Chains A and B, each alone.
Chain A
Amino acid sequence: MLDNLNLLALAPLLNIQLLLDGIFIGAIFALAGYGLALVWGVMNVKNLCQGEYVIMGGYFAWYAGTIGIHPILAMPVAVVVMFGFGWVIYRVIISRVVDKDMFTSLLATFGLAIVIQQGLNLAFGPEVQIAQSGLETRSFFDGAVTVSEIRFVSFVICCVLASLIVLFMKNSRMGQAIRATAQDARAARVMGIDTDRVYAFTYALNCAICAAAGVLISMIWVIQPFYGLTHSIRSFVIVTAAGFGNLPGVILAAFGIGVAEQFGGFILGAELQQATVVGILLLVLIWRQALMSRRRQALA
């Protein structure tokens, strides 16, 4: 561990490498994080199967790769199918727990997460998979820093998707209805907004966003049926740190966790990468609690 720290000090370019990797990964985390902020903020559902949707999206890309289609072309399909899937899940499950207490939605989505994990495991097996993009890897500084082109492409796609979502939320009728519902669902209902439809759309949109994130993850990283939980925790970290409806905050928090994870994984060893994520989660929770305890009621 100290050796690795030493290495970072000796080879400054390594820091740049980790920083870049962190930001490329973080951009994708931002998508899933924003999706969670959306469902949490709008319908108060703590979606614990967020990561499973990401992994499902990833399998679209991987499957496309295995039948000879470029994985990136799977994105539109994944987005559309997952949008429909999200709509169905909302109608069947989420709509029945949306107005219950918080643990209900948390546990229902945790149950759903188990179903999806195990379903993926049965369908595709427990192997770690990667979708081959077939793009080159570029070297800088005499090979000290390498950036695969697909990472760059995925970063650009993330930016485009984020802009599209922002434009959608600002300008479309549905986007405005979503924002109105987030502020006050009852008032929105009184004003004639069909909040049930808004909820369904929001949830489906979240699924679609996650699917897009999953397609990118499968190309620049790895997917596996049981990796979803870690993605869910990342999304929770992002939302906890950034709050709802705060896109710049979400992006910043996502870059933060991406970079912190890269450095943590490098310093502590790759087998502790998940523990790093959990460690960050606890740190963020403690930090949030410290903020709370400045109000006098938080602790005894």
Chain B
Amino acid sequence: MTTDTTTASLAVREAASGTARRRITRNDVMMYAAILVFGIVAPIIFPNYTYQIAVLWLMVLFAQTWDLVGGQMGYNSLGNIFFFGAGMYICTVTQIGLFTDVGAYTSSSDGGQFEFSTEQYYIGVAVGLVLAAIGASVLAVMLGWIVFGLRGPYFAIGTLGIALGAGELVGAWEWVGGGGGIPIPVYPGSGDGKAFFYYALCFGTAVATFAFLKWLYSTRFGLAINAIRDDEEKAEAMGIHTLRHKTVAWAISAFFLGIAGGLFGNMTGFIEPLEVAFPVITFGIFMVAMALLGGKGTMWGPVLGAVLFHIIKETTWTYFLGWQWVALGVIIILNIMFFQQGIVGWMQEKWPDLFGIEVDRSLVADTADDRARGRGV
């Protein structure tokens, strides 16, 4: 190789200082700190809205986990909610099954004849959440084997089908309560105590998800799934283990969604298949809408989208007098028609420098071949 040594060493120094990925700046630290502080003090300042803010963190988690597969990897799933519901049922069944017979518990109409002790409750939740996460990931690996041969619309429809079918199947499964659902073990303490307990778990899980994904996108994995998004056939031709990456990405998404499901089930206090566990046309489509609104394929887009969406939804929903679902559909259509790149995507186009993206301003009307000639190649 005959490169000039000074250029090369300069290049190395630049590379070492992190030109490919943006470094953590002071602004970033400030932003993280602000979010953490808000997350911690929010339930203290707004005690009446603890539940809503806890759900907000779950929404952030939804959007992020969808974006991992849909935005970063380009596999637009319409059925990620499946893992939410699966996690919810796994967690609940574990919580009950550790201490009593699940069939008997679910078949009694109120589930009330069995009292969980405080200790049993916390052990149940802890084990249940762990199993929910693992179980959802295992399901993702198994389903991945089926659906990752599908591309484009077939993948979207296939995953949609899985989520719809799961709701129906669970609805017909008497052992887990069928369509009638299951009452969740009651929290051993005050209502406020319960709200704070689950708030802390929701916030912690959302932060963990963000941190994990932030790290994940900085590894080879991040680039590999971006490559799959941009041109999967090329990625195959370059020898990337595409199926392995796709399956792992989906399993990670499922892992956090499974925890979210377990938490949401406990917060709600009662689970049933169609409206709570596998709500394809509410949470299932929310996660897509939020990621798109914020900007898919970006780190902060899904977070921003989820926060905006949730705040708008919680503050305006009641004024729509039944038209809110129609409004939701309209929002999705308008978003996809006019604002596909999302907020962060739009900001990246407008101020690329802020995001460490370089734009060749000399590119206009200057074909590269001319430039190459000028350089005497």
Contact = CB atoms under 8 A, between A and B. Distances in A.
B111 interface: no
A297 B236 contact: yes
A167 B157 CA distance: 32
A122 B333 contact: no
A300 B239 CA distance: 10
B169 A115 contact: no
Nearest to A280: B161
A76 interface: no
Nearest to A115: B329
Tell me which of B152, B157, B338 has the highest count of chain A C-beta atoms within 10 A of its own C-beta.
Answer: B157
B308 interface: no
B157 A122 contact: no
A272 interface: yes
B153 A106 contact: yes
A204 interface: no
Contacts of A281: 157-158, 161
Contact of A299 (B161, B243, B336, B337): B243
A163 interface: no
Interface in A12-67: 46, 48
A229 interface: yes
B162 interface: yes
A176 to B, nearest CB: 27
Interface string A251-284: 0000000000000000001011011001101100
Contacts of A121: 325
Interface string B251-286: 000000000000000000000000000000100010
**Secondary structure at chain A's binding surface: helix, strand, loop or mixed?**
helix
A271 B171 contact: yes
B226 interface: no
Interface residues of B, number: 46
A289 B143 CA distance: 14
B259 to A, nearest CB: 26
B316 to A, nearest CB: 16
Interface stretch (A94-102, A141-149, A185-193): A94-102
A269 B178 CA distance: 14
Interface string B148-186: 011011101110111011001101100000010000000
A168 B43 CA distance: 65
B146 A119 contact: no
A118 interface: yes
Contacts of A128: none
A96 B337 contact: yes
B243 A300 contact: yes
A110 B78 contact: yes
B328 interface: yes
Nearest to B147: A285
Nearest to A293: B149
Contact of A107 (B152, B162, B288): B288
B363 interface: no
A217 B322 CA distance: 28
A77 interface: no
Contacts of A110: 78, 285, 332
Given A102-B153, A111-B333, A272 B168 contact: yes
Interface size class of A (residues with CB under 8 A): 35 or more
A269 B172 contact: yes
Contact of A114 (B76, B236, B281): B281
A106 B153 CA distance: 7
B285 A297 contact: no
Tell me which of B152, B329, B330, B340 has the highest count of chain A C-beta atoms within 10 A of its own C-beta.
Answer: B329
A299 B326 CA distance: 40
A298 interface: yes
Contact of A278 (B152, B168, B242, B325): B168
Given A111-B333, A299-B149, A118 B326 contact: yes
Interface in B56-109: 76, 78
B241 interface: yes
Given A110-B78, A233-B161, A271 B172 contact: yes
A108 interface: yes
A256 to B, nearest CB: 17
Tell me which of B158, B172, B243 has the highest count of chain A C-beta atoms within 10 A of its own C-beta.
Answer: B158
Interface in B325-375: 325-326, 328-333, 336-338, 340
Given A110-B332, A116-B329, A122-B323, 5 more contacts: A115-B326, A115-B333, A118-B329, A236-B157, A285-B150
